[in-house]
Amino acid sequence: MKTKEMKAVISKKFSKSAWILLVCWVGIFALLTALCFALGKQKYYSPLSGNTYYELCWLGIQYGKIDSELYIDWDGFFILIVILNILIFTIVPLIYLLINRRKRKLTELTANDMEIVGSYTGFIPISKITLKMPIEKIDNIAAVKNFFFLYTGKALRIASTSGVIRIPYVLNADEVVAFLSEAIEKAKNSPVKAVAEQEKPQGDAADSLKKLAELRNAGIITEEEFNQKKNELLGKM
Domain boundary among the residues 80, 103, 126 is at: 103
pLDDT digits (tens, 9 = 90+) for 175-220: 999 999 988 888 777 655 555 555 544 456 677 777 888 888 877 7
Residues 9 and 117 in one domain: yes
Statement: residue 19 has pLDDT above 50: yes
Backbone angles phi, psi at 126, to 5 degrees: -80, -45
Q: What is the pTM of this model?
A: 0.57
Residues 172 and 196 in one domain: no
Residues 53 and 120 in one domain: no
Residues 138 and 84 in one domain: no
Give how many domains the chain has, as a whole number. 3
What percent of the chain clears pLDDT 90, i.e. is strictly above it?
A: 19
- Model pLDDT, residue 201: 46
Residues 9 and 111 in one domain: yes
For 116, residues 6+ apart whose C-beta sits below 8 A from its C-beta are 109, 110, 131, 132, 133, 135, 138, 158, 180
Neighbours of 185 (CB within 10 A): 11
Residues 23 and 99 in one domain: yes
Residues 9 and 112 in one domain: yes
Residues 130 and 203 in one domain: no
Residues 91 and 154 in one domain: no
CA 86, CA 91: separation in Å to the nearest integer?
7
DSSP state of 13: S
Range of the domain at 229: 190-236
Contact assessment for residue 188 and residue 223, using Cβ atoms and an 8 Å cutoff: no
* Single-letter residue type at 192: V
CA 35, CA 169: separation in Å to the nearest integer?
38
Q: What is the CATH number of the domain that holds 180?
A: 2.30.29.30
Residues 112 and 9 in one domain: yes
Statement: residue 163 has pLDDT above 70: yes
Residues 29 and 83 in one domain: yes
Average pLDDT, the chain: 76
CA 94, CA 75: separation in Å to the nearest integer?
28
Task: Enumerate the H helices of the chain as residue ranges.
Answer: 16-39, 76-86, 92-106, 173-188, 191-198, 205-217, 223-236
pLDDT digits (tens, 9 = 90+) for 97-149: 888 888 888 999 999 988 999 999 887 788 889 999 998 889 899 999 877 66
Residues 124 and 176 in one domain: yes
pLDDT digits (tens, 9 = 90+) for 53-110: 665 555 555 555 555 556 555 555 566 666 777 777 778 778 888 888 888 889 999 9
DSSP state of 114: S
